[in-house]
Structure 1
Amino acid sequence: MSVTVYYLPFSPPCRSVLLTARALGVKVELKELNVLKGEQKTPQFIAINPEHTIPTLVDGDFVLWESRPICSYLASQYAKDDTYYPLDPKIRAKIDRLMYFDMGTLYDRFLKYFIPVMFGGQKQFDPQQLEKVHEALGFLNKAIEGHTWAVGNHITVADHVLASTVATIDAIKIDLKRHPSVAAWYENCKKSMPGHKEINEIPAQNMAAMIQSKLE
């Protein structure tokens, strides 16, 4: 059981895929693409993924990109049971909702906060964008209040997706203590999620160091 993943270590979406694969025991052949140097635009990679985005998964003759569907696919294809992506339509809908929330709200707002510094030459973070990140964290705080993991009391692919974003938010010193349920949940991720430090926490810290170097 082996799949190929094209990735960049510090990319949060890539990290969510690797966390899912580690949890499921899926053997992954990693092929690093430095998108900062344009390595994703080679003819060879465009032949695999015409949108030339990472992460990209290749499983035999099946090719898939976009991190959240990749996480769902891995759980559906390789999990020993349905706990990571339950078959129950209502539970699955809650998982999907949080993954879409991550894509469209939490991660999106985080991108708008850090990209102007990372790539746009801005020397300070925008406090208005910071408050939008905190608002999104508040939404997440309410969603996960009262249970151990993002959806109930068993880890699912939603946790892998959200943890990759929250690890990066935490690494650049956005205060999670304003959102106690998120802070407690993330501490649980660090303690209980297989491979979290190696796959998620350290690469997030490396990304944070790159961002910090751009600030005045």
Structure 2
Amino acid sequence: MPIDLYYMSLSAPCRAVLLTAKMAGVEVNLKTVNLMAGEHMKPEFLKINPQHTVPCLDDSGFVLTESRAICAYLANKYGKNDNLYPKEPKDRALVDQRLYFDLGVFYASFADYYYPVIFHGKTSLEASKKKKLDDSLNFFNMFLADHDYAAGNHLTIADLSLLASATSMEAVIPTIFNDCPKIKEWIERCKNQITEYHDLNQVGADIFGQMGQSALEKIQ
């Protein structure tokens, strides 16, 4: 049976799953769910995923949500080796730490600062939240000081998740990493490692970026 992935291309978490599937060598059947049009609240989708979120994976009846859990599952079950998600406890723990950092600090601080304007109609940015975003960028830049990739010296699912986040952030604010040269180098390094990178990630990131820039222009 096909592996169905319910997704929306402008979503960074959805694109992280797409990147992982590609790197793990697994084919997924894409099913677009337009959140803006309320398709995630249709009864047929709620039956599959009562949480009504994307991404949502259905692997022959095994339904899984939360992008980082999906990435780990795909790497564990379908990866050709354990490079994407190492089995050695300390190596895996570092990958997990970076995934949690992406979820709770890196992208979270960007969303906390910019999403009220992009998605909720706020007419100004809350200055008090800017420092948390700046700190998160500096933390990640420091993580990359001694390693080529987010969790060591080869690409893992931590890179794929963080890359989807970082390129979404950069699409909205092209100068966001100007003071973080290690992040900029890492982005290009990751891009060169991923077959079909542009179609899998950059196209969706650019769509998100156009939406974000359009919202931000209204407050400038």
Aligned to 1:106: 106
| SS, match of residue 28 in structure 2 | strand
How high is the TM-score relative to the length of structure 2? 0.93
Between the aligned residues of both structures, percent identity stands at 40
Aligned to 1:177: 178
**Structure 1 residue 128 displacement after superposition:** 3.7
Aligned to 1:197: 198
Aligned to 1:61: 61
Residues 77-119 of structure 1: CA distance to partner in whole angstroms, max 9, x if unpaired?
0011111101100000000000011111111111112211112
User: Which deviates more from structure 2 when the two are superposed, residues 128-137 or residues 163-172?
Assistant: 128-137
Tell me which amino acid in the other structure corresponds to 1:86.
P
C-alpha RMSD of the superposition? 1.4
CA distance in 2, matches of 1:148, 1:104: 22
CA distance in 2, matches of 1:125, 1:208: 17
CA distance in 1, matches of 2:196, 2:103: 23
| SS, match of residue 178 in structure 1 | coil
Question: Residues 128, 201 of structure 1: CA spacing in aligned structure 2 closer, same or farther, 3 A cutoff?
Answer: farther
User: Which deviates more from structure 2 when the two are superposed, residues 102-111 or residues 166-175?
Assistant: 166-175
Tell me which amino acid in the other structure corresponds to 2:157.
V
User: Which deviates more from structure 2 when the two are superposed, residues 114-123 or residues 87-96?
Assistant: 114-123
| SS, match of residue 58 in structure 1 | strand
Question: Residues 129, 199 of structure 1: CA spacing in aligned structure 2 closer, same or farther, 3 A cutoff?
Answer: farther
Query: Is contact 2:155–2:190 with CA below 8 Å preserved after alignment?
Result: no
Aligned to 2:147: 147
Aligned to 1:74: 74
CA distance in 1, matches of 2:156, 2:128: 32
CA distance in 1, matches of 2:144, 2:74: 23
Aligned to 2:121: 121
CA distance in 1, matches of 2:35, 2:140: 30
CA distance in 1, matches of 2:151, 2:191: 17
**Structure 1 residue 169 displacement after superposition:** 1.2
Query: Is contact 2:141–2:181 with CA below 8 Å preserved after alignment?
Result: yes
**Structure 1 residue 127 displacement after superposition:** 4.2
| SS, match of residue 153 in structure 2 | coil
Where does structure 2 lack aligned partners over 5 or more consecutive residues? none
Give the total of aligned pairs: 216
Residues 14-58 of structure 1: CA distance to partner in whole angstroms, max 9, x if unpaired?
010000001111101000001111100111111111111100000
Aligned to 2:3: 3
How high is the TM-score relative to the length of structure 1? 0.95
Question: Residues 131, 200 of structure 1: CA spacing in aligned structure 2 closer, same or farther, 3 A cutoff?
Answer: farther
1:168 aligned to 2:168? yes
User: Which deviates more from structure 2 when the two are superposed, residues 138-147 or residues 63-72?
Assistant: 138-147
